[in-house]
Structure formats: C-alpha cells, structure tokens
Chains A and B, each alone.
Chain A
Amino acid sequence: MSVISPAFETPAPIGHRSFYDEGNTLWSWLTTRDHKRIAILYAISITFFFLLGSLAAAMIRLELVTPAGDLWSAETYNKAFTFHGVVMVWFFLIPSIPVTLGNFLLPLMIGARDMAFPRLNLFSWYLFAVGGLFTMAALLAGGVDTGWTFYTPFSTMFSNTNVFLVIIGVFITGFSTILTGLNFIVTTHSLRAPGMTWFRLPLFVWAMYAVALVMMLATPVLAMTLSLIGLERFFGVGIFDPAMGGDPLLFQHMFWFYSHPAVYIMILPAMGVASELITCGARRNIFGYKFMIYAIVGISVIGFLVWGHHMFVSGMSLYAGIVFSILSFLVAVPSAIKVFNWTATLYKGTIDFTAWMLYAIGFVGLFMLGGVTGLFLAATALDVDLTDTFFVVAHFHYIMVGGSVMAYLGGIHYWWPKFTGRMYSAAWARFAAIMMFVGFNLTFFPQYLLGWAGMPRRYHQYDPQYQLLNVLSSAGAAVLGLAYLLPIIYLAWSLRHGAPAGPNPWRASGLEWLTDSPPPKHNFEVTPVVTHGPYQYTP
C-alpha cells in the first residue's frame, strides 16, 4: 500500500499529526485558515444545500405525477422549481467541486503549503454562508417565483415575492465565487513547487485554473445585473422595463453573458476530476495531455461567446442567432476532444472497477448524451421547437446531474481516503453508483421524449397524454433520491469504522498522494521537487 511513484525525488516522511489534530473546538474551525479545513466547512454547507434543493426536486416530481395541478398550488410549484434552480446552481453545483475538492487539493497538487490568500479563503466561506442565509430567509419569508433566470419584467414589476432577498443572497455568494477564483489563480501562478511547470500540472489543476478564470470574468456581470433588478424593484425605475423605454432583452443578454459561462463553471471541474479518475482507474497516462489542456482553455474562452443560444426565440436578431449558433457548435469541439481522449486513455490499460471509476465512466457517457442534445438546441431551427420544453430540462440535467454531480461524487470517493484517512465499503459504494446511474436515466431520459412531444417546462399542470412519461420520471427520481442517501450513510459510517487508508490507497501518482492521509497542517513536511509530468502510470 505504499508504492510511491518514482517520479518525485523527495517523498514526505510519514507524519503523525494531521490537520484535524490542530484543535477541534468549533472556534478553531470557524477561524481556521487552513485550506483543508475550509474545504470541509464548504463540503458540509453544500451538502446541506444539496439536500434542500433535492427536497424541492422531490416536490416538483411529486406534483408532476398527475396531469392536474393537484398536490401543490401553482404558486407553490413555481416557488419550488425556482428555489430548486437557485439553490442547485448557485449554492450547490457552482461551488461544489471547486470549493471542496479544489480547495483541498489544489495546494496539495502543486506542492504548496496553503492557498495564496488563506484569510480571503475563509472570508469566501463566510460570504457563501451569508448569501445562503439570505436565500433561506427568502424561503422562510415565502419563497420566490421568478425561475432561476429572473427574467424581466416579470421579476421586476410583476412578481410580488421575495425577489430582493434572493438577489442579495446570490449577489453575496457571487462575491464568494469571485474571491475563490482569485485565490485559485494566484495560487496556481505563484505557489507551484520547484519544478512544477505549467505542463506538469495535473489536469485537475488546469481545470481549476480555467474555472477560476471564468468565475472572475463572468460573475461580476451577474452581480451587477441582479443589482439592477433590485434597483428597479425598489425605485420603480430601470433599464429593463419596457414601460419606461427599457429593454427586457438587454437583461437576457447580461444574464446569459454570465450564465452560459456559468454552465462551464459547472462542467470544467467535473472534467478535471474525470481526467484524474480515469487515468488512475485505467492505470494509463492520459491520452493527449496537451490537447486536453487546450480543450479546457478553449472551452472556457469560446464559452464566453455563445450566450445568445438561450435567446434564439427571444426576439433577438436573426444575424445574432446565426453567430451564436455557429459559436455554440464550435465550443462543442473541445468537449468532443475530451470525450475521445478519455476513451482512448482506457486503451491497453488495466481497468479496476472501483466505485469512483464507475462514476467516472458514467460521467463520460452521460455528459456525452447531455452534450449531444445540447447540439440539438444549438441548431437554431430545432431550438425553435425544443426551447422551453422538457427537452432542455433533460439536456441540462444530463450534463449537470449526470455529468457534474456524478463527477463530484466520483471525486469524493476517490479522495475520501485522503480527506479522512479512512476507507469506505467498496461494495456499497459500487451499489450506490450503479443505482444512481439507473435512477438517473429513468428520471431524465423520459424528459427528452416529453420535450420532443412538446411539453413545456415550468408547467404546474400538463396535458394527460404526457402522464406516462412523467410517472416514469418521478419513479426514477425516487430511485435517484434514495441512491443519493446511500453515500451519506456509508461515508459517515467509514469515518468511525473504516479501515485506515494509508497515504496512497489507490497507488495513484500526483503530489497529493505523497503526503499523509489526512495531510498534516502544512501539507508537506518538505516541499517536494517535481521532475516529471503528472501521470506516471504503468498498466
């Protein structure tokens, strides 16, 4: 269990004192500047939000079992999907991989003692928490019913729910995102260990770097756009209100200038995780390392130019539609490169079907399905029919739940021994992964058919001919929901009863595996010196 990759000259001596041993009072956690502890604070918070968002999903799915709007009132249903979208996007999925896995692993993977700005890192968590509190306050005060997209003038002039509170919540969390991004960028630039050149960085670090860039360049736009909504609500004036000469489409441009890059904030980290998992699981170095990097960078840059594909039927000009459509096709090319390279990495490998490998393989498949249906939507003439139907809902759940959430869980399973020093039950973990895969497809595949059959999204009640598929989808959600509970149980169990993991249970290469599990406070007793690329696997 201690095969340390020969790539690194100075393996750290095995210490005895992990970062958990540096005091365990609540105060010591709430004032910590250790990136590893902050990652754990985040992990707890986003799990909480994931559960909240899932409850809202359960409400959605229960309502949609019958065509009539009988279980909840229309208001409640609208609030449920709004809350689901807001919480899942801003309080779970955007932070998920970066703030937990990224925070914990980025310094470890580049051989640093901490983030460049540890205090800022803690501050980001507090911002996140405060933003979350505002959002929950909005929930307690009665909820919001605008949809997560806050389209004007509905959100400014017509909704009389707590839009303002949610906007403040998202605004504050946005700052948290920006500061996290800033920290990642500076850390990657200045704190790399000696010998850790740019082309020796693990792909996960590259993904974190790219995602940090997107976070910093996109989030400010969201913050100001939402502020403008707040302004309009407060003072009854504003630039999105047609009654005053404003333009609702301007809001959509601003919102999607942020929100399309934001979807890449949600997928790039997942791609980074998948690259680490697949190489280790197949015991093969990644195929086409440099192309993978170019693809990451390409996605994050071109991703900024495609936002208008959400507006093909909004009244935007035909010519803008043409430009956004072709750019959307172009941004799919780097994604294709990644899918093909992951597949090629398996070739001539030695593949172990650990739970995290199952997640990784599931990720590639589901991401591909979601991505390819994204191309249907990018094809303007099809989007005219499919937009705002369940086809879109299925598209993004395939990528976000099937892709990103699967990758996140895969990452948690892969690095769990590193985080906690314990092993979990491999059998249960595999079972949960497979159950999740089945439940997921049962939930969301029918939604493609629903969308093609013409069922619009955000519908509290629907025509009876759609019922069969909706019942299937709800049944799938139940399976999926139960599958989500399993890891919570067996991972918690492993904290006490799991076997000790040792520094490198998967015989993985990468600096994070050189140090103890869990790592000591300053990560490495001796700063490692890097002489090779990131992946040193032989089958």
Chain B
Amino acid sequence: MSPVTPLLEPPEASSIAPHVDLLFYVMLTLSVIVIAGVVLAMGWFCLKYRRGTHADRSPRPPHSHWIEITWITIPLLLFLCIFAWSIRLYARMRTPPPGATPVYVVGKQWMWRIQHVGGQREINTLHVPLGRPIHLIMTSQDVIHSFFVPAFRLKQDVVPGMYTDLWFTATRPGTYQLDCAEYCGVDHSRMGGRVIVMQPAAFADWQRRHGGQSLAAQGAALFRKAGCSGCHDSQSSVHAPNLRGLYGRRVPLRDGSIVLADDSYIHDSIMLPDKQVAAGYSPIMPSFQGQLGESEVLELVAYIKSRNGKGAGP
C-alpha cells in the first residue's frame, strides 16, 4: 500500500489525476474565498448591528438592481469558467487515445474478472504497464457496479447489457486500491481489488509468464464450441453473414438504418440478436442470453475483431 495519511488524498497515479487535483484545488480556493467573504460579511453585520449597538441604522434601499445584477453576473461568469474547464477535462477522460491497449473487465457480484488480449485472466487484480494508455471495456454480468481507482481519480459504472469504457495511463508504479463504487448488494464493500502498475519490462515479463492462448484464440475455440460456426462458416448451408471484416464496418439493418459494428453491436448481436437484424437475412439467429457469460461473449468479440486483420482466422 502506498502511504496514505488520513487527511490527504490518495497519490496521483494517472495522467489525469494531476489535472483533476488542480481543478479541485482551484475550485476549493475559489469557494473558500466566496464562503469566507459571505461568512465574514454576515459575522460583521451580526456584530455591528446586534441589538444595543449604536450603529448607523438609517434606511437603506429595499433593493438595488445594480447590486443584484452584479452578484448574478460574477458567480455566473465564474461558473461558466469552471464549467468550461471541467467539461474539457471530462471529454478527455471519456475519449480514449487511439492505440490504447484494450483490457476487458466483467463485474459480477462481488468480484472483478479481467481478461487481457493476450489471454491472461485475473480476478480482482489488474496488472498494467507504466506509461501506456489502457482502455478498459467493461460490462456486468448481473447488477450495476462501478470501477473506481481513487489514485487514478477515475470511476465508471459497469452496466449489465451494455459496454462502458474507461481509459487511463498509469504514471507511478505501485499498487493501488480498486473499489466497487456503485451499491451492488451484500458484499458491495468487499468488492475491491488492486491495480498493479509495473515497469513495462516487468509487465512484459508478467505477461509472458501468465500468457496462455490469446483471447481471440479462446474466442475462436468457443466460436466452434457454441455452434456459431454452424451458421457463420462460409461452407455453412444456413444463410448467415460472414463475420470476416465485420468489426468497424457500417452494417445496413433490415429496418433501413445503418449502424457501426462496434463492441456493443457484436455483443447485442449475440445476446439480443433480434434487436438489430442485418439487412438481407432473416432473424433466425438464436439468442445466447443465459448460455454464454459476459466473459465468453468478450472472447467472441475479441475473436470477431481479430478477423479484421490480415490473414486472421478461417
């Protein structure tokens, strides 16, 4: 554990964290100034005009548009500045840089299951290399959880039935607390873990030691086992789309709309096939809801993605 004194914030361990802290402390300073101003004014009035003092109590105007407008405008401008600042930071938090390494996360009452593209699996622990952007693609098997790493100043709800994502670049090696921040039932407070930030070399070493079959390869096996290939193989007699090169394409749907084939699209195609039916096909694909867990779906997604590259897959 990194040393955390009770009154201080956790260390800044991601590229975003210093920006968040700066915003926080600037807002804190502003707020303290404003609050101190108001409290001092009130305190001073309370002292000066308490009953029995000989203060000037001549009539004052019952209102003044100028004063009102001043103290509407100044806070408003302050608010707009803070808003602009925070929203830029927020947009940055939510836009993963191109080339970030994907890591798949499944929340489940009450544990975190993590799958790396290289096939490494972890539970309640996430190993990441220092200084490289990591892109978490997350979903939940049951209820809503929230992936929270205080040292990174980042948090994202993990919602069943959809993919949410979170990205960060760790900037300090060490072990950091991972919490579940969305109430999810009995053991919510125990649903924690660690994020271990390693030097790239150490990380590569870790990867090698724990690497098995890559996620896509596991997905390829599953593709056969779950029976997908029965329809989706090019030799299959069933009229089903060939999934090669599907990922990232724009897919025309039967109802006339066009959607981008991203992670969620593939996920929904497997779990809720009726939701979006590809044009030119009949809606005969069965739903795999209940038969495949979210982590298995992630393997399939990884496999289908992998078939975009050159010479990938059958």
Direct contact of A and B (CB under 8 A): yes
A314 touches B159 (CB 8 A): yes
Distance to closest chain A CB from B28 (angstroms):
8
Within 8 Å of chain A (Cβ to Cβ): is B142? yes
Smallest CB gap from B42: residue in A: A343
Given the known interface contacts A247-B161, A313-B146, the answer about A387 and B86 at a Cβ–Cβ threshold of 8 Å is no
Given the known interface contacts A158-B142, A340-B71, the answer about A385 and B161 at a Cβ–Cβ threshold of 8 Å is no
> Could you say which residues of chain B place their CB within 8 Å of the CB of A348?
49, 55-58, 60
Residues 310-358 of A contacting B (Cβ, < 8 Å): 312-315, 318, 321-322, 325-326, 329-330, 332-333, 336-337, 339-341, 343-344, 346-353
Smallest CB gap from B156: residue in A: A313
9-residue interface stretch from A30-38, A367-375, A427-435, A487-495: A367-375
Given the known interface contacts A313-B157, A315-B157, A454-B179, the answer about A349 and B49 at a Cβ–Cβ threshold of 8 Å is yes
Pick the contact of A333: B51, B75, B162, B186 (CB < 8 A).
B75
Cα(A369)–Cα(B35), bound, Å: 7
Smallest CB gap from B24: residue in A: A382
Cα(A344)–Cα(B64), bound, Å: 11
B160 touches A242 (CB 8 A): yes
Cα(A312)–Cα(B87), bound, Å: 11
Within 8 Å of chain B (Cβ to Cβ): is A280? no
> Could you say which residues of chain B place their CB within 8 Å of the CB of A339?
38
Cα(A116)–Cα(B188), bound, Å: 49
Within 8 Å of chain A (Cβ to Cβ): is B68? yes
A453 touches B155 (CB 8 A): no
Within 8 Å of chain B (Cβ to Cβ): is A118? no
Which of A75, A315, A369 has the largest count of B CB atoms less than 10 A from its CB?
A: A315
> Could you say which residues of chain B place their CB within 8 Å of the CB of A145?
185-186
9-residue interface stretch from A131-139, A265-273, A455-463, A507-515: A455-463
Within 8 Å of chain B (Cβ to Cβ): is A466? yes
Q: How many residues of B contact A (CB 8 A)?
A: 85
B183 touches A351 (CB 8 A): no
Distance to closest chain A CB from B37 (angstroms):
9
> Could you say which residues of chain B place their CB within 8 Å of the CB of A246?
161
9-residue interface stretch from B2-10, B203-211, B231-239: B2-10
Within 8 Å of chain A (Cβ to Cβ): is B116? no
Distance to closest chain B CB from A303 (angstroms):
16
Within 8 Å of chain A (Cβ to Cβ): is B131? no
Cα(A299)–Cα(B137), bound, Å: 38
Smallest CB gap from A454: residue in B: B150
Distance to closest chain A CB from B8 (angstroms):
7
Within 8 Å of chain B (Cβ to Cβ): is A289? yes
B46 touches A351 (CB 8 A): yes
B75 touches A291 (CB 8 A): no
Q: Contact flags (1/0) for B1-35 with A, using CB distance below 8 Å?
A: 00011111110000000011001100100010011
A381 touches B93 (CB 8 A): yes
9-residue interface stretch from B77-85, B117-125, B295-303: B77-85
Within 8 Å of chain B (Cβ to Cβ): is A107? no
Residues 249-263 of B contacting A (Cβ, < 8 Å): none
B41 touches A453 (CB 8 A): no
Identify whether the interface residues of A are mostly helix, strand, loop, or mixed: helix
B46 touches A346 (CB 8 A): yes
Distance to closest chain A CB from B173 (angstroms):
19
Within 8 Å of chain B (Cβ to Cβ): is A74? yes
Distance to closest chain B CB from A101 (angstroms):
24
Residues 41-75 of B contacting A (Cβ, < 8 Å): 41-42, 45-46, 49-51, 55-58, 60, 62-64, 67-68, 71-72, 75
A158 touches B179 (CB 8 A): no
Cα(A145)–Cα(B79), bound, Å: 37
A361 touches B46 (CB 8 A): yes
B86 touches A388 (CB 8 A): no
A379 touches B150 (CB 8 A): no
9-residue interface stretch from A119-127, A147-155, A174-182, A229-237: A147-155
B49 touches A469 (CB 8 A): no
Pick the contact of B159: A249, A318, A325, A353 (CB < 8 A).
A249
B87 touches A453 (CB 8 A): no
Within 8 Å of chain A (Cβ to Cβ): is B223? no
Within 8 Å of chain A (Cβ to Cβ): is B199? no
A337 touches B80 (CB 8 A): no
B148 touches A456 (CB 8 A): yes
Pick the contact of B49: A242, A344, A347 (CB < 8 A).
A347
B79 touches A314 (CB 8 A): no
> Could you say which residues of chain A place their CB within 8 Å of the CB of B157?
313-315
B49 touches A288 (CB 8 A): no
Pick the contact of A336: B10, B75, B159, B290 (CB < 8 A).
B75
> Could you say which residues of chain A place their CB within 8 Å of the CB of B56?
348
B144 touches A154 (CB 8 A): yes
> Could you say which residues of chain A place their CB within 8 Å of the CB of B183?
78, 147, 151, 154, 388, 457-458
Within 8 Å of chain A (Cβ to Cβ): is B109? yes
Within 8 Å of chain B (Cβ to Cβ): is A364? yes
B186 touches A384 (CB 8 A): no
Within 8 Å of chain B (Cβ to Cβ): is A69? yes
Given the known interface contacts A159-B185, A454-B177, the answer about A288 and B82 at a Cβ–Cβ threshold of 8 Å is no
A349 touches B57 (CB 8 A): yes
Cα(A242)–Cα(B163), bound, Å: 12
Within 8 Å of chain B (Cβ to Cβ): is A285? yes
Pick the contact of B83: A326, A449, A454, A458 (CB < 8 A).
A326
Given contacts A74-B187, A151-B183, A385-B154, 8 further A-B contacts (CB under 8 A): A154-B183, A246-B161, A349-B57, A372-B35, A382-B23, A454-B177, A456-B148, A458-B188
**Listed A/B pairs (22) with beta-carbon separation below 8 Å:** A145-B186, A313-B155, A313-B157, A315-B157, A325-B86, A325-B90, A330-B76, A336-B71, A343-B41, A343-B45, A348-B55, A348-B57, A348-B60, A372-B31, A375-B79, A381-B19, A385-B20, A387-B155, A453-B150, A457-B183, A458-B188, A458-B189
B: residues with CB less than 8 A from A are 4-10, 19-20, 23-24, 27, 31, 34-35, 38-39, 41-42, 45-46, 49-51, 55-58, 60, 62-64, 67-68, 71-72, 75-76, 79-80, 82-83, 85-87, 89-91, 93-94, 109, 142-144, 146, 148, 150-151, 153-157, 159-162, 164, 177, 179-190, 272, 275, 289-290
A: residues with CB less than 8 A from B are 69, 74-75, 78, 145, 147, 151, 153-154, 157-159, 242-243, 245-249, 282, 284-285, 287-291, 312-315, 318, 321-322, 325-326, 329-330, 332-333, 336-337, 339-341, 343-344, 346-353, 361, 364-365, 368-369, 372-373, 375-376, 379-382, 384-385, 387-389, 449, 452-454, 456-463, 465-469, 539
